[in-house]
Amino acid sequence: MDLDLKHVNQRRPFLRKPMSVAVSALVASMAGTEAIAGGVPLELPVIVVTGSGVQPVLASSATEGSVTSEQLAQRPTSRAGELLEFVPGLMVTQHSGEGKANQYFLRGFNLDHGTDFYTEVDGVPVNMRSHAHGQGYADINFVIRDLIGSLDYRKGPYFAEAGDFATAGSAQLRYVDSLPENIARVSVGEFGYQSALLAGSPSLLGGTLLLGGEASRYDGPFDLSQDIRKLSTVARYHQGDDRDGITASLMTYRIDYNAPDQIPLRAVEQGLIGRRGFIDPSDGGDVRRYSASIDLRRSAGETGHWHAQAYALRYRMDLYSNFTYFLNDPVNGDQFNQLDDRHVYGVNLSRYWQLPTPIRSDLTIGLQSRYDDIKPVGLYLTQARQRLSTVREDQVRQGSAALYASSNQQWTPWLRSQVGLRADAYTFDVDSDTVQNSGEDRATLLSPKLALIATPTPGTRVFLNYGEGFHSNDARGVTSRIDPTDGSTPLQPVDALVKQRGAEIGVSTLLLPQLSLVASLWRLNSDSELVYVGDAGNTEASGASRRRGIELAMYYSPLSWLTLDLDYAYAHARLDSEDGNRIPNSIGGVFGAGLAIAETRGWSGGLRLRYLGGGPLVEDNSARSPSTTVVNGQVGYRCRQRYQVSLQVLNLLNSGDNDITYFYESRLPGEPAEGVPDFHFHPLEPRQVRAMLSIGF
């Protein structure tokens, strides 16, 4: 039997059966199976179900997995960003209006809006380098949730093909290749929620053309109407299969919104505003995003294949925020505008070989490149969205190229290894309105990877992983020498690339035929917590850091139509500092649990609980955030195969917890000039009901 190791682990097809049926069939068919390759029996490991999906047949770590379109549909979510909560241990929050990228938490990281977690959609990167609001900014609000066909995730810096930002983890979302029928869907809900989706996939030139568009509006429950107006479209042509085929995609997105940002606790306690109140009514913004990509796959004989991809992205964001109110400017207020206007281009190429060695082995060599042309990226002081002055304005040209190699070796029927090496080279070219902050820089980095996978018994795998990875710093921080806020304070340029080292031991096992467990112990050290602060126009230094933790995920399917899952994660995060070693906004414990009812006799549904533990808000741990618990639920009924009615209840128990909490100094009118240290929070949205009617034709 000739097994293509790489092909099995790449672009897996979607499961179309209930999970318990599919897993039982796969386990029964694969357990104990062997193939003779090069004179050595080659084990075909069983597929193991994780807390959020099926683990790849040739998984290299315990904490990677894949989520199918059916699973995505069965979980109730209130925002597109919550798709990433299918990654066990990852939590998604929001401190502002729903038009911004979400806040992400994973493995002791406050990932802010995306730093240290890499995301891509149909091969096009979402994370933005040297972004106006924050390094690695990842906004997936453009995704049409109902058309996503799969979500593949990995944690840790253990994979040679994963580069910038992919240290805590990564996620790859893909749209479906085709739909079983055309779809028309209308949704309505409380607080002015309206959404309409139209999609289909006609046959064209021997392939399928997916066409979809979703328009939505939402006012929200806050005293300041969010007045969201959003439109997303996708056109995607697919022909062939995973070895020989072509996929070409066009995606567009636009949104305009107001932002009820976080508010100071003292203003609520003094009765100045309510919990859903606001300080600055002109906060908000707009985003425009357009992308095109092409993906080519060609076989090279019986034992190899090529994979080539190219993409182009046009992106513009205009964001207005005011987090300190009247601290810096008692007259005009502290509102600022962050502008990001860029083009992004990228080309990726890889070649896979099965090697003619005595043991079963393979080799993948790949080349990745990306170029960001940002004109401009700016920070401006504003009042009611009217520009008052410029803090800094830059033109940034940032390029990168990476060469990587990865190889699998099957040493015995029960022992496999994977080794990899990645080399990255970066160039930075900044043209600033402050001459001293202009400049060029170059940086290179080598990142080795190693994995050992043992299968001591059928249905059980043990993983040992080590890897080095990195995230890039903002190009402006790399070249800055003068604080742009005062034009005189000297700044020390930061390292362009921040090295991170991770290790993990994990196990995945079938405790019962329908019950699986995944457990892991991990560690991740970072050379620096240096980040460019887009809100201030400079760089903050926090020194080196170290994180370690434990993760557990269980998946149980007692009936063909019922699935129960839970995941728990705990992280211990510390700075290497004598003055205070807590990492602000690093969350210790998170917990998620849910049930999913696959369609049976027309009925389907889902229930999900998520718990986000408290954590330090300052380095000395003197201020901590409270925990957050929320439950979402949904139920649906399909009749005559064409019509489906669904009801979704968000925040089912009407929790009054905060979506997110911060601690810093701000100033309201009449308060001391130095400001008041206080908690600032954004509350969960109250319970709300949404109804949906979907028609297939």
Question: pLDDT tens for residues 569-583?
Answer: 999 999 987 777 898
* 641 contact partners, CB below 8 Å, separation of at least 6: 696
Of 64-68, 475-479, 483-487, 644-648, the range with the lowest mean pLDDT is 483-487
| pLDDT tens digits, one per residue of 246-262 | 999 999 999 999 999 99
Q: Is the pLDDT of residue 457 over 50?
A: yes
Q: How many residues does the chain have?
A: 697
| pLDDT tens digits, one per residue of 406-422 | 999 999 999 999 999 99
Q: How confident is the model at residue 687 (pLDDT cuts 50, 70, 90)?
A: very high
Residue 331, SS3? coil
Q: Contact at 8 Å (CB) between 694 and 73?
A: no
The token duo for 407 is 């190889």
pLDDT at 24: 38
Fold (CATH) for 5-696:
Maltoporin; Chain A (2.40.170)
End-to-end Cα distance, the chain: 42
pLDDT at 303: 87
Beta bridge partners, 81, equal: none
Cα dist from 58 to 7, 37, 601, whole Å: 10, 16, 35
Half-sphere exposure of 513 (CA within 13 A, CB side): 11
pLDDT at 697: 93
In the chain, domain spans: 5-696
Task: Count Cβ neighbours within 10 Å for each residue of 448-476 and write b for 16 or more, e otherwise.
Answer: ebbbbbbbeebbbbbbbbbbbbbbbbbbb
Q: What are the two backbone dihedrals, phi and then psi, of residue 70, each rounded to the nearest 5 degrees?
A: -65, -45
Q: Is-above-0.85 flag for pTM?
A: yes
For residues 466-474, average pLDDT = 96
Q: What span, in angstroms and rounded, lies between the C-alpha atoms of 181 and 200?
A: 7
Q: Whole-number mean pLDDT of the chain? A: 90
Q: How confident is the model at residue 541 (pLDDT cuts 50, 70, 90)?
A: low
Q: Is the pLDDT of residue 23 over 50?
A: no
For residues 460-486, average pLDDT = 94
The larger pLDDT score, comparing residue 44 to residue 217, is at: 217
pLDDT at 191: 97
The token duo for 597 is 């009812």
pLDDT at 38: 30
Q: What span, in angstroms and rounded, lies between the C-alpha atoms of 114 and 95?
A: 14
pLDDT at 9: 36
Residue type, 630: V
Encode 83-98 in three state secondary structure.
HHHHCCCCEEECCCCC
Task: Count Cβ neighbours within 10 Å for each residue of 306-329 and write b for 16 or more, e otherwise.
Answer: ebebbbebebebbbbbbbbbbbee
Q: What span, in angstroms and rounded, lies between the C-alpha atoms of 129 and 132?
A: 9
Considering only the C-alpha atoms of the chain, give the largest distance between any 2 of them, rounded to a whole number of Å.
82
pLDDT at 315: 98
Q: Contact at 8 Å (CB) between 536 and 478?
A: no
pLDDT at 52: 46
Residue 365, SS3? strand
Which of 521, 586, 575 lies closest to 116 in space, CA to CA?
Answer: 586
For residues 456-465, average pLDDT = 95
The token duo for 75 is 């979980």
